[in-house]
Structure 1
Amino acid sequence: MTSRLVSLLGADQVAGTTARELADRIRALVLDGRLTVGEKLPSERAFALEIRRSRSTTTRVYGLLEDDGYVSRVHGGGTRVSLPRDTWTPRDAVDDDAIDLSIASMDSTPGLYDATVRSLPRLAALRGTSGYSLRGLPELRDAVAQRFNQRGLPTHADQIIITSGALNGLNLVLAAIGRRGERALVEQPTFPHALEALHRHGYRMLPTPVDVGGWDERHVAETILSGRPHVAYLIPDFHNPTGATLPDPARERIAATARSAGTLLIVDETTAELDIDRGWAPRPLAASSPEVVTLGSMSKIAWGGLRLGWIRADRSLIARLLATRPSFELGTALLEQCIAVELLQDMPALTAHVRRRLSDGRAAVAAGIENIDGVTMPPAPGGLSVWLDLGAPVSTELSLAARERGLILPPGPRFATGGVLERHVRVPITLPPDRTALAMQRLGSAWEAVTAGRAPRLTEMSHAAVI
């Protein structure tokens, strides 16, 4: 069985690498949070067999990592991941001048303050209750259901559970229906924290490729029919990170294939409302099959600090979710729910703000990329980011060179399984234009260092979260 280390590295990706290069790749996994501190690595002998290299090579690799403080070795206790004391800093302690491109999220909508003020009487009226809200406030579930109805998916409030964000909703679904050892179909690339959640619940990944041009529908269907995954996690609208949107006919065919294979589709609609100028609006994927589970969130259309999302599912699954939820939380905060009720009553204002901000951010990134030779920016009709093509497998090198220049830029493999996608990086279009312009200057400087062969050897990369 392939170790997690080799799965992350990608056995095909390390062929021909020197011991130093291999150590650098492992160090990148540690610094990027894909290998966790304290995690046990395979023995030198087992590692050598997996990657088909000599024992002396893997001994040299672990020795280099130990010298730099990235692994610790105890006789009889194996090799475990560690961090040098002078390398790691908490996320909140990062240099204030650093620009963080690991977070693809805008600041709050201008209407948030007024919505908060308007929500206070609603909150005050709830003081006589217990304060716990396992299912969610009825008026908020009604508002979310109404939004689905407006988008062409008939929905009743009793098909909705309010959660503390979409990722919280995914974990609730997996806690209720998860099966350790089963397979999960995932897009490659995809949202990193969804991969982590699936791993945590014991799933084995079946990747299917997505690029800026969309999905390989034949590959999706063949993977579902041959692999019979228990679940499939998809982002069909303004896919994170490529920005692609799955057309309606393909949604219907994928839903039918999943239904025939007994695969539960978990659809992440966190980015569904982030349209700039796509020019068309698909129906929710759940309109193609009643069994589809849909996750949504206020974080991208209102504010990341508003930790509120929802699950839409059939009534039988809703009952299972409600039975499971008390084992790890007793509901979603009432203040956030009251604010969300107010915000959802004026979706045109919310979406107009999102469109302006994303359009300005996209233009700022495009202007910066024009000055970086060899890097290609694809069209971005909506979504949170652009999926840049570097033209060569240098994503990790670029990420590290960027960090030396005060730019936190997750490498392409952070969004994948198996250490692939080294020729891509995700750049958010969510920052204010002036901040984006400065980020692009730093990215250009890092690119010059990489292309001139002057990129620094792996040093500090303390961020593991990618949003």
Structure 2
Amino acid sequence: MTSRLVAHLGAQNVAGATATALAGHIRALILDGRLTVGERLPSERSLALELRRSRSTITRVYGILESDGYVTRLHGGSTRVTLPRTPLAPDAPEQESAIDLSIASMDSTPGLYDATVRSLPRLAALRGTSGYSLRGLPELRDAVARRFTQRGVETSADEIIITSGALNALNLVLATIGRRGERVLVEQPTFPHALEALQRHGYRMLPTPVDVDGWDARHLTDVLLADRPHLAYLIPDFHNPTGATLPDLERQRIATTARSAGTLLIVDETTAELDIDRGWAPLPMAAYNPHAITVGSMSKIAWGGMRLGWIRAEPSLITRLLAVRPSFELGTALLEQCIAVELLADMPALTAHVRERLRAGRAAVIDGLDAIEGIRMPQTAGGLSAWVDLGAPVSTQLSLAARERELLLPPGPRFATGGVLERRLRIPITLPPDRTAAAMHRLRLAWDDLHGGTVPRPEELPQTAVI
């Protein structure tokens, strides 16, 4: 069985690498957070067998990592991931001055303040209650259900739970229906923290490819029928990170195949409302599969600081979710729920703001990448980001070079299951244009450093969440 380390490295990516280069690849995985502090690495013998290298080479690799402070080793025992204890070098970039492209989220909608003010009487009326709302405020569940109905799938409030964000919703679903050791179909690339949640619940990944041009629907349905995974996690609208949208015909085919295979669909609609100029609106996946579980969020359409999401599912599953939820959470903040009721009452204004901001952000990324020879910007009709083509497998190297230019930039493999996608890079289109222009300038400098051979060896790189 392939170890997590080799799955992230990709044996083909490090074939023939020197011990120093192989240590550098592993260090990059640690610094990017793909290998976690305290995680046990394969033994020298096991890693040598997996990579088809001599044991002396692997001994040298682990020795380099140990001397640099990235692993600890016990004689005759385990090798575990750690981080250097030395402080940052004096010339290391401060977090305050760095531009963080690991976060693809906009600032708040202009209507957030007014919605907050309008929500206060509703909040005041709740002061006589316990303050807990396990299922969510009835008026907010009604508003979320109406939005599903408007988009083409009849929904009642009984099919809705309000959660503290979409990732919280996913974890609640997995805590309720998860089965350790089972298989899950995931898109490649996909949202990294969803992968981490699935791994934490003991799932084995079955990747299916997605690119800016869309899904390989035949591959996806073949995997469903051949492997019959317990779950499939999909982002069909403005896919994160590619920006692709799954057409209605393919949605119907995949939804029908999943039902035949006995696979439960978990559909992430966090990005579903982030339209710029797609020109068409598909039906939600739940319209084609009544058993589909849908998670959504306000964070991308209103403000990242609003940690509020929802689950749409069959009433029988809602009952099970409500039984599990108190074990780790007693409900979602009432103030945020009251604000969300006001915001959802004026979706046209909210989506118009989103469209305007994303259009400006996309234009700024296009302008910035035009000045960098060799990076291709794909067509991007909406969503959080552009999934750019670097023309060569240099994403991790560019990410490390960008760090030296005070630019935090997760590499393509951060969005994959097995050390692949080194030709790709996710660039958010959600930042204000002036901030994006500054980021693209730093990216150009890092690109020049990389191709000029002046990239220094980094001594530290913080683990970053990718949003």
* TM-score, length-scaled by structure 2: 0.98
Identify the residue that residue 254 of structure 2 maps to in structure 1. 254
Cα displacement string for residues 365-423 of structure 1 (whole angstroms, at most 9, x for unaligned residues):
00000000000000111001000100000000000000000000000000001100000
Question: What CA distance in whole angstroms lies between the structure 1 residues aligned with 2:86 and 2:436?
Answer: 30
Identify the residue that residue 179 of structure 1 maps to in structure 2. 179
Cα shift at 1:94: 4.7
Identify the residue that residue 104 of structure 1 maps to in structure 2. 104
Identify the residue that residue 408 of structure 1 maps to in structure 2. 408
Identify the residue that residue 392 of structure 2 maps to in structure 1. 392
Cα shift at 1:239: 0.2
* Matches for 1:166-205 after TM superposition, within 5 Å: 166-205=166-205
Alignment partner of 1:229 is 2:229: yes
* Matches for 1:292-441 after TM superposition, within 5 Å: 292-441=292-441
Percent of aligned pairs with the same amino acid: 77
State the superposition RMSD in angstroms.
1.1
Cα displacement string for residues 81-128 of structure 1 (whole angstroms, at most 9, x for unaligned residues):
111123679xxx952110000000000000101111111110110111
Question: What CA distance in whole angstroms lies between the structure 1 residues aligned with 2:198 and 2:276?
Answer: 31
Cα shift at 1:67: 1.1
Cα displacement string for residues 311-342 of structure 1 (whole angstroms, at most 9, x for unaligned residues):
00011111110111111111111011000000
- The residue identity in structure 1 corresponding to 2:206 is L
Identify the residue that residue 9 of structure 1 maps to in structure 2. 9
- The residue identity in structure 1 corresponding to 2:136 is G
Identify the residue that residue 158 of structure 1 maps to in structure 2. 158
* Matches for 1:22-101 after TM superposition, within 5 Å: 22-86=22-86, 94-101=94-101
Cα displacement string for residues 26-54 of structure 1 (whole angstroms, at most 9, x for unaligned residues):
00110011111111111111110111111
CA change 1:268–1:87 in 2 (3 A) is farther
Question: What CA distance in whole angstroms lies between the structure 2 residues aligned with 1:207 and 1:269?
Answer: 19
Contact kept, 8 Å, 2:404 with 2:458, in 1: the verdict is no
Identify the residue that residue 285 of structure 1 maps to in structure 2. 285
Question: What CA distance in whole angstroms lies between the structure 2 residues aligned with 1:203 and 1:301?
Answer: 30
Cα shift at 1:78: 1.4
- 2:275 counterpart SS class: coil
Question: What CA distance in whole angstroms lies between the structure 2 residues aligned with 1:369 and 1:58?
Answer: 39
- The residue identity in structure 1 corresponding to 2:332 is T
- 1:80 counterpart SS class: strand
307-316 or 8-17: which moved more? 8-17
- The residue identity in structure 1 corresponding to 2:65 is L
Question: What CA distance in whole angstroms lies between the structure 2 residues aligned with 1:88 and 1:70?
Answer: 14
Cα shift at 1:454: 2.3
- The residue identity in structure 2 corresponding to 1:83 is L
Contact kept, 8 Å, 1:291 with 1:313, in 2: the verdict is yes
- 1:295 counterpart SS class: strand
Cα shift at 1:457: 2.5
- Give 5+ residue unaligned stretches, structure 2: none
Contact kept, 8 Å, 1:400 with 1:460, in 2: the verdict is no
- 1:121 counterpart SS class: helix
Cα shift at 1:455: 2.1
Contact kept, 8 Å, 1:182 with 1:229, in 2: the verdict is yes
* TM-score, length-scaled by structure 1: 0.98
Question: What CA distance in whole angstroms lies between the structure 2 residues aligned with 1:417 and 1:456?
Answer: 28
Cα shift at 1:6: 1.0
Cα shift at 1:76: 3.5
Question: What CA distance in whole angstroms lies between the structure 1 residues aligned with 2:306 and 2:291?
Answer: 28
Contact kept, 8 Å, 1:28 with 1:458, in 2: the verdict is no
Question: What CA distance in whole angstroms lies between the structure 2 residues aligned with 1:98 and 1:238?
Answer: 27
Question: What CA distance in whole angstroms lies between the structure 1 residues aligned with 2:424 and 2:209?
Answer: 14
* Matches for 1:238-277 after TM superposition, within 5 Å: 238-277=238-277
Question: What CA distance in whole angstroms lies between the structure 2 residues aligned with 1:263 and 1:10?
Answer: 28
Cα displacement string for residues 331-363 of structure 1 (whole angstroms, at most 9, x for unaligned residues):
111011000000000001100100010000000
Question: What CA distance in whole angstroms lies between the structure 1 residues aligned with 2:312 and 2:426?
Answer: 29
- Give 5+ residue unaligned stretches, structure 1: none
Cα displacement string for residues 224-277 of structure 1 (whole angstroms, at most 9, x for unaligned residues):
111111000000000000000000000000000100000000000000000000
Identify the residue that residue 137 of structure 1 maps to in structure 2. 137
- The residue identity in structure 2 corresponding to 1:311 is I
- Report how many residues are paired: 464
Contact kept, 8 Å, 2:225 with 2:257, in 1: the verdict is yes
Cα shift at 1:17: 1.2
